[in-house]
Amino acid sequence: MYREIKNGEYTEYDGNEYRIGCFTSSTVNLISNDPASIYKGFIDITHPNNPNKVFRKIVPLKNIGKVYKVHTIAIYHGLPVGIESYHDDKILLATSDPIFLKEYGFEEVDRMVYMKEVNRDEVELVDKREPAPNFFNIRKYIMGINEYGITKNYGRTMELYFIQSQLELLPNCHLWRSRNV
């Protein structure tokens, strides 16, 4: 059975859990990889070169539940280990714990970094959840504004946290920056 490996912010909407995409002060993009989402008002936004289906629905912020940071870990031989990547039925496990090198045949790929590719059925997948009560008050991503005044997410390229009140719009360049810079 397929089980999604999660890493990001999630919320509940209409009895299901969805990943949070871009958001404005009044709406949020909910993201799903389930084709059945089409029947719940989601639209297909899959890029032609992407083999994985992606669906989006824009909903009012007031209609969603609590926000959680969700991160899937693997339990391998009873011990928790990180997931570096996954494809089909294979998962690449990663850890800095040397017991995995000695006891379970992991390879040292860098100093104190051990990895091993295993079949998906060799591990138990567990979601670690942390509440994110102030998620919509913190801007995790650098945002931009296009000529129509719509906010866009320019990606997860920088792990910067800005309080909304510490941001200002730079003239003529359409980018946000911290007032503290």
Return the structure tokens found at 85. Answer: 């990547």
> Residue 2's pLDDT band (boundaries 50, 70, 90)?
low
> What pLDDT, on the 0 to 100 scale, is given for residue 5?
82
126, pLDDT greater than 90: yes
- CB within 8 A of 22, min separation 6: which ones? 28, 29, 151, 152, 153
Lowest mean pLDDT among 92-96, 112-116, 160-164: 160-164
Under the banding of pLDDT at 50, 70 and 90, the label for residue 12 is: very high
Give the residue, 49 or 160, on which the prediction is more confident.
49
Q: What are phi and psi of 131, to 5 degrees?
A: -60, 145
What is the C-alpha separation between 90 and 110, in angstroms, rounded? 21
More confident residue, 10 or 1: 10
* 135-150 mean pLDDT: 46
* C-beta atoms surrounding 27 within 10 Å: 15
Confidence label for 52 from pLDDT (cuts 50, 70 and 90): confident
